Amino acid sequence: MTCARLLLSFSVDPATTFDTLEMVLAIARRIGLHLARLEVDAGRVRIDLQAGHADPLALFHARLNNVIGVYDVCMLPIEQKYRTLRQSSDAHTEKTLCT
């Protein structure tokens, strides 16, 4: 049963979007995280991950900051998970929680 959740938004270089996402998803897989949702729109990515407890999610967040081609990593409140990426970008809501 998954009880911990992490919702992140980050930018990727448009020229290497798929390569960068492949690295990000490989990290999540190796840590044992469950991918609940993935949105990509014009170089901006939103990813919703789940785990049995918070430690693997914290490890993923730390490793994500070291991936070449990933920029502006922001942790989002879970309440925003069903808003579209375009709505969030227009409202600039994720900028307040950047790490």
CATH 3.20.20.70 is held by the domain 4-97: no
| 2, 51 Cβ separation under 8 angstroms | yes
Question: Residue 93 — very low, low, confident or very high, per pLDDT cuts 50/70/90?
Answer: very low
Domain residue limits, the chain: 4-97
pTM score, whole prediction: 0.75
Of 79, 68, 76, 70, the closest CA to residue 95 belongs to 76
Q: What is the pLDDT of residues 27-76, one digit of tens each?
A: 999 999 999 999 999 889 999 999 999 999 999 999 999 999 999 999 98
Q: What is the pLDDT of residues 18-36, one digit of tens each?
A: 999 999 999 999 999 999 9
pLDDT at 1 over 80: no
User: CA gyration radius for the chain?
Assistant: 13
